[in-house]
Amino acid sequence: MTSADNAPRGQSRRNRRDITGRHVLITGASSGIGRAAALAVADKGAIVFLLARRDDELAAVVEEIRAEGGTAYGYQCDVTDSESVDHAVKTILDEHGHVDMLVNNAGRSIRRAIHRSTDRLHDFERTMAVNYFGALRLTLALLPQMRERRFGHIVNISSAGVQVATPRFSAYLASKAALDKFTEVAAVETMADGVTFTTIHMPLIRTPMIAPSGYQGPSESPEWAAATVVRALTERPRRIDIPLGTFAEYGALITPKIHDRILHRYYRALPDSPAARGEEVDTTAPETTEPLTPQHNPRRRSAVRRVTGTALRRAARWVPGTHW
């Protein structure tokens, strides 16, 4: 354990939140949220272990972090393969001694209506293999050494869609919901062991993973997601939600019929993507992380709009469940 773990109660919250020198393992770190999170965590002084399947892209991220003065190590790993996970974890522990924090970020998303999925059970199996069992493999593999050291923090990247019950994401959200419930139980059982958990209910993030699904509504950048991951590692709350997810969760409890009707209208308004309908999709175009939103003529925001936006963002942080 580091000195921060044994810090007296009078020590400043800022020092207790410092992750300098922490060993942080991030899965799915070759692109998207994982890449952005690895860069952000390394910038905070942590020693980052990056796991991903694509070795070339993984090496590129490691070099980028090192070029900026950070410390990073890359390990090729397929989270759906138990032998691959065991090998990666053993190698990391042999070379570096321990892992302080784990970010289960690797994920697979499928957007397809259920009536188009009746002959596609493999969609549900594939999302469970990555989003649930993949995260479980890493968690179970690292938990013994965290309990032995009596310190560890695990961040699970979930989705605000679990709270909303977003149509067309039945396979994806079922896998994330399973991870959410496992995390709730594990967090209770490991309280006395010094191991804590954070579940982040992420909104839609502009990454290559969502590109085949087309426009789905407002989205955030990978850098925004990375800042949220850093907050989860430093402040270690039980959950980080967004206001939309919180409102939807309460709405489903208080006015379930209205909640369902709103979601059904949303379901009818946004059709399946060409890929989900089984139509040919141009796969030669390069992947992009640009916003999948209608383009408007740029215009400068007035001072009133800036002040109003800031006030609304601050107010949103007080919505129950946004960060607790």
Beta bridge partners of 159: 202
Tell me which of 73, 75, 132, 172 is the catalytic residue: 172
Short-list 50, 133, 134, 63, CA closest to 99:
50
Residue type, 157: I
Give the distance between the most distant pair of CA atoms in the chain.
62
Closest CA to 28 of 69, 78, 71: 78
Q: Which long-range contacts (CB under 8 A, 24 or more apart) does 112-121 make?
A: 112/168, 112/171, 112/272, 112/276, 113/167, 113/168, 113/267, 113/272, 113/276, 114/170, 116/272, 116/276, 116/277, 116/278, 117/170, 117/171
- Position 291: which residue type? P
Structure tokens at 171: 């396979």
Handedness of CA 88, 143, 174, 125 (dihedral sign): positive
* Nearest one of 131, 245, 138, 122 to 178, comparing CA atoms: 131
Annotation marks residue 250 as catalytic? no
38 and 65 in contact (C-beta within 8 Å)? Answer: yes
Distance of alpha carbon 71 from alpha carbon 64, whole angstroms: 10
The span from the CA of 214 to the CA of 234, in Å, is 34
Question: Rounded to 5 degrees, what are φ and ψ at 323?
Answer: -160, 105
- Token readout for 184 is 């709730």
Give catalytic residue positions. Answer: 172
